[in-house]
Amino acid sequence: MPRFTLNVRDGDAVMRDSHVYHFPTAQDARDATIRLVRQLIVERERDFDGKQIEIADATGHPVAVVSLYDVMPERMN
């Protein structure tokens, strides 16, 4: 199964995740990331404004980007 990492980008700074996640496709990784971010916003009331999650493949190249602002639940906007 393909391997992905989820790195947090805040402007020019990138916090690289050392954990490897296994998903069938990059789209599955993106969908799971969206669910995770929504959960973190609701449960932990984290400030993710302006940050992004870069989903990188096994070579380290980004294959998808999730804007955290775009995935906020409607009641949070």
| pLDDT score, position 77 | 47
Query: What is the full DSSP assignment across 33-55?
Result: HHHHHHHHHHHH----TTEEEEE
Give me the residues of the chain with pLDDT under 70, please.
44-49, 68-70, 72-77
| pLDDT score, position 45 | 64
| pLDDT score, position 47 | 65
Query: Domain locations in the chain?
Result: 3-76
CA–CA dist 6, 20 (Å, integer):
8
